Structure 1
Amino acid sequence: MKTYKEFENKKVLVLGLAKSGESAARVLNQLGAIVTVNDGKPFDENPAAQDLLTEGIKVITGSHPLELLDEDFALMVKNPGIPYENPMVARAIARKIPVITEVELAYLISESPIVGITGTNGKTTTTTLIADIFNAAHKTAKLSGNIGFPASDVASKSTADETLIMELSSFQLMGIQAFHPTIAVITNLFSAHLDYHGSQENYEAAKWRIQENMTADDFLVLNFNQEKLRQKADQTQATVIGFSTTEKIANGAYVSDGQIYFADEKIMAVADLSLPGDHNVENALAAICVAKLSDISNQAIISVLTTFSGVKHRLQYLGEKSSIKFYNDSKATNILATQKALSGFDNTHLWLLAGGLDRGNGFDELAPDVEGLKGMIVFGETAPKLKDLAEKLGISVFASKDVATAAALAFEKADASDVVLLSPANASWDQYKTFEQRGDLFIAAFENLKEN
């Protein structure tokens, strides 16, 4: 960790705990700041606040008293999920107290260079691929950020000969000031988080902030399959490297005649990628760009891209039983995510497991993607809607009470060489606390099938 003295003896308010807030509070305390933590969860139900208190950090829990801001705070570090319209945040801004997110703090203290990855879809897979490729090349990389490892905690323990591979959400990027990756990636831009940002324009502007402090010595990797990102290539000081599955990119990664190239150098065949789906070809191209810009060998790239089994709950390959392959895509909490998952498989040999929380929407837009499926197993609140869709399309469909019984039923119905895919197209909250819990139960059901 860098010796950073700007926070010494200055009052800093950490608003909201969770992993990032807890990490920020500890790092700031270590840097000599006078830290106050404010979290809405009551103290008796708040183990993180209890731990911080024993470490000598002031904690205020159970509410967010506006009068707290009457203190002379030099900085607020807010949880990324807290909107800027929040009364505490709004008052801090009105009083000209700088408001940052924890990734800015991570940048300020990091001795390691940062590779930052953002975008609507594919962030986690691309981030993980890049880290795995670095490590395969014996260049130590550490995952950090929105992927589940608080950036400031990882940065505080990193060294100059390591690289932080940092997944960044739009929420986190809204709270940066000096943040400066040496390489940045924008995987794609689709409609998302409009309830937080208010408009697609605001959402995309938040994502674009990843490059705002970059210079010509830095590299910005953009998805040239999207015209909106291609058009942004001349709106940055960074050196732009494109990737595309449809055309040659002179200084980037692309697909031609079933082969993946970087510039004019052939890397590998598309057919050798371990992850299915056109979207995962894009993720691989983005990872290849970062790897080649970092002087990593093709051998290391190929070793990862041919064996990578997916991020947990994100089109994760679990294995097979009786020549039936199982994939866990519990992270697919909306129709678009399921459409992307389905694009990587042959429907005539695919059993789709779908269903979950009913948010009032229909599923007609999924029809072209599920047409020709061998079968569907549906569960949860939306099971009747999905069953209606399948019956309209002449797809064999069966109802099940949950993902565990759905896995068993799919195995019973499937034949050798079929694929069983959990890709729910719905949130999990009707039956499960999180999509992770839903996916874990599916994994457990598969493991049980393997053992019997």
Structure 2
Amino acid sequence: MKNITAYKNKKILVLGLAKSGASSASLLHELGAIVTVNDRKPFSENPEAQTLLEKGIKVICGEHPKDLLDEGFELIVKNPGIPYRNELIQDAMKRGIPVITEVELAYQISEARFIGITGTNGKTTTTTLIFEMLNQGNKNPLIAGNIGTVASDVARIATEKNIIVTELSSFQLMGIVHFRPRIAVITNIYEAHLDFHGSREQYINAKKNILKNQTKTDFAILNFDQEEGRQIAKEAKGTVIPFSKEKYLPEGASLKDGFIYFQGEKVIDYQKVVLPGKHNLENILASVASAKLMGVANEHIEQVLTTFRGVEHRLQFVKEINGRVFYNDSKATNTLATKSALSAFNRPIILLAGGLDRGNDFDDLIPSLKNVKALITFGQTKEKLVQTGKKAGIEKIFIVDNVQEAVPLSYALSENGDVILLSPACASWDQYKSFEVRGDIFMGAVHKLV
């Protein structure tokens, strides 16, 4: 870890705790900053705040006081989930107080290089694939960000021999200043998180931040099957490496005659790849490009792609029971992810879907529901999904209270050869703390069937 002095004796507010806030506060305190932590959760229910207080850090819990900024803070480190429309953040911006996120701190103290991965879908799979390929190739990778340990905790232990492979959300990328990944990947861009960003343009701008500090010696891996990817390439300062699952690109990563190629070199027979779903080809191509740019040999890439079957909660195989195959796709928190999951199977599907209502309808799912023989819905969006199912001509549609109830019903409706798929097309927060909790409950219910 670099022992930087930029924060020594600076008054800094850490707004919002959870893992990233607690890590930021501890790190800044260690770097000599005068840290105040503010979190809405009451102190008595806030173990992170209690631990920080024991370290001698000032904590204010239970509310965001309106006069808090009168204390003269020079910097705010914001939890990524707190929107910029928050009154305190708006006040800070009016006062000219810089607002950053934890990943910026991680970059500033890191001795290691970064590979940053963002996009609407496929971030977790791509991040994991890159990590596994680099690991097979003995490149000393560490994994960080949304997928694992908080980036600043990883950066503390990283050396110049390491590569930090980091999954990054648009929320995190809005708060970077100097962050500069050696390789930046944008898997794809679709409409998402408009309740946070306010518009598609602002959402895309947040994603593009991953490229803003790159130079020609860095690499920008972009999806050339999308107009957004091709447009972003025109603005990129780094060396653009395109990927495409639709056409052969000799300058990038693509498919030709059944083989995956990188810059004209045959890497692997695509038939050997075990990760299901056409949508995963995007993730694979971006990962291959990243690994090859870091000097990983084809044999190590092949070792990963012939054994890697997916990450938890993302089209994750759970169990086969009497010819019925169960898949956990709880990470599908928007319709695009659910459409991708549905496209992975050419068998009858019983779909379990529903969750937080963000005001959108689900009619764009209709073309993808052709193999769905039964639909089981739950959560705030259950009625909307019922209407979508009826428009798609699905004859068997059921409403249940939760995922636990959906599993035994799905099994009762199924036959030998069916896929039972949890792919909610919605966030989980109406009923579950996270998509991980939702997926774990689904898998637990599956294992209880027999």
TM-score normalised to structure 1 length? 0.93
Change (3 A) 1:393 1:46: closer
Are 2:350 and 1:351 aligned? yes
Tell me, yes or no, if the aligned pair for 2:367 and 2:392 is still in contact at 8 Å.
no
Change (3 A) 1:293 1:65: same
Q: Which residue of 1 aligns with 2:226?
A: 226
The residue identity in structure 1 corresponding to 2:164 is: L
CA shift, 1:185, in A, is 0.4
Are 2:190 and 1:190 aligned? yes
SS in 1 for 2:2: coil
Q: Report the count of equivalent residues.
A: 449
CA shift, 1:355, in A, is 3.1
The residue identity in structure 1 corresponding to 2:213 is: N
Are 2:370 and 1:371 aligned? yes
Change (3 A) 1:429 1:304: same
Structure 1's unaligned 5+ residue stretches are: none
Inter-partner Cα distance in structure 2 for 1:354 and 1:97: 42
Residues 353-378 of structure 1, C-alpha deviations (whole Å, 9 max, x = no match): 22344566544332211124343334
Change (3 A) 1:448 1:190: same
CA shift, 1:120, in A, is 1.2
Inter-partner Cα distance in structure 1 for 2:214 and 2:251: 19
Inter-partner Cα distance in structure 1 for 2:100 and 2:145: 14
Q: Which residue of 2 aligns with 1:208?
A: 208
CA shift, 1:74, in A, is 2.5
Q: Which residue of 1 aligns with 2:396?
A: 397
Q: Which residue of 1 aligns with 2:420?
A: 420
Q: Which residue of 2 aligns with 1:440?
A: 440
CA shift, 1:389, in A, is 4.7
Tell me, yes or no, if the aligned pair for 1:378 and 1:397 is still in contact at 8 Å.
no
Q: Which residue of 2 aligns with 1:145?
A: 145
Change (3 A) 1:383 1:6: closer
Deviates more, 1:175-184 or 1:315-324: 315-324
Inter-partner Cα distance in structure 2 for 1:66 and 1:385: 39
SS in 1 for 2:103: helix
Tell me, yes or no, if the aligned pair for 1:110 and 1:155 is still in contact at 8 Å.
yes
The residue identity in structure 1 corresponding to 2:349 is: L
Q: Percent identity?
A: 55
Change (3 A) 1:131 1:94: same
Inter-partner Cα distance in structure 1 for 2:397 and 2:238: 52
Q: Which residue of 2 aligns with 1:30?
A: 30
Residues 277-426 of structure 1 mapped to structure 2, 5 A cutoff: 277-346=277-346, 348-357=347-356, 362-380=361-379, 382-383=381-382, 385-387=384-386, 389-390=388-389, 393-397=392-396, 399=398, 400-426=400-426
SS in 1 for 2:308: coil
Inter-partner Cα distance in structure 2 for 1:426 and 1:213: 33
Tell me, yes or no, if the aligned pair for 1:339 and 1:366 is still in contact at 8 Å.
yes
CA shift, 1:238, in A, is 0.5
Tell me, yes or no, if the aligned pair for 1:387 and 1:397 is still in contact at 8 Å.
no
Inter-partner Cα distance in structure 2 for 1:200 and 1:394: 31
Tell me, yes or no, if the aligned pair for 1:101 and 1:175 is still in contact at 8 Å.
yes
Deviates more, 1:154-163 or 1:212-221: 154-163
Change (3 A) 1:139 1:388: same
CA shift, 1:146, in A, is 2.5
Change (3 A) 1:241 1:47: same
Tell me, yes or no, if the aligned pair for 1:391 and 1:397 is still in contact at 8 Å.
no
SS in 2 for 1:408: helix
Deviates more, 1:177-186 or 1:438-447: 438-447
Residues 203-229 of structure 1, C-alpha deviations (whole Å, 9 max, x = no match): 111111111111111111000001221
Deviates more, 1:74-83 or 1:123-132: 74-83
CA shift, 1:342, in A, is 0.6
The residue identity in structure 1 corresponding to 2:367 is: P
CA shift, 1:181, in A, is 0.6
Tell me, yes or no, if the aligned pair for 1:353 and 1:376 is still in contact at 8 Å.
yes
Inter-partner Cα distance in structure 2 for 1:60 and 1:383: 39
SS in 2 for 1:376: strand
SS in 2 for 1:144: strand
Q: Which residue of 1 aligns with 2:49?
A: 49
Deviates more, 1:129-138 or 1:239-248: 129-138
Change (3 A) 1:196 1:140: same
RMSD value, Cα: 2.1
The residue identity in structure 2 corresponding to 1:12 is: I
SS in 2 for 1:36: strand
Residues 72-130 of structure 1, C-alpha deviations (whole Å, 9 max, x = no match): 32321111222223232223223322221111100000011000011111111111111
The residue identity in structure 1 corresponding to 2:223 is: N
Inter-partner Cα distance in structure 1 for 2:440 and 2:226: 34
Change (3 A) 1:350 1:163: same
Change (3 A) 1:353 1:211: same
Q: Which residue of 2 aligns with 1:112?
A: 112
Residues 30-68 of structure 1, C-alpha deviations (whole Å, 9 max, x = no match): 111111111122211211111100011111122222433
Inter-partner Cα distance in structure 2 for 1:64 and 1:267: 54
The residue identity in structure 2 corresponding to 1:402 is: N
Residues 161-200 of structure 1, C-alpha deviations (whole Å, 9 max, x = no match): 1111111111111111111111100111111222222221
CA shift, 1:433, in A, is 3.6
Structure 2's unaligned 5+ residue stretches are: none
CA shift, 1:424, in A, is 2.0
SS in 2 for 1:12: strand
Are 2:97 and 1:97 aligned? yes
Residues 233-253 of structure 1, C-alpha deviations (whole Å, 9 max, x = no match): 231220110000111212211
The residue identity in structure 1 corresponding to 2:289 is: C
SS in 1 for 2:344: coil
Inter-partner Cα distance in structure 2 for 1:386 and 1:308: 33
CA shift, 1:393, in A, is 4.7
Tell me, yes or no, if the aligned pair for 2:14 and 2:37 is still in contact at 8 Å.
yes
Change (3 A) 1:208 1:40: same
Inter-partner Cα distance in structure 2 for 1:93 and 1:430: 31
The residue identity in structure 2 corresponding to 1:177 is: V
TM-score normalised to structure 2 length? 0.93
Inter-partner Cα distance in structure 2 for 1:21 and 1:204: 25
Tell me, yes or no, if the aligned pair for 2:379 and 2:402 is still in contact at 8 Å.
yes
Inter-partner Cα distance in structure 2 for 1:117 and 1:74: 30
Change (3 A) 1:65 1:129: same
Inter-partner Cα distance in structure 1 for 2:307 and 2:46: 41
Tell me, yes or no, if the aligned pair for 1:270 and 1:281 is still in contact at 8 Å.
no
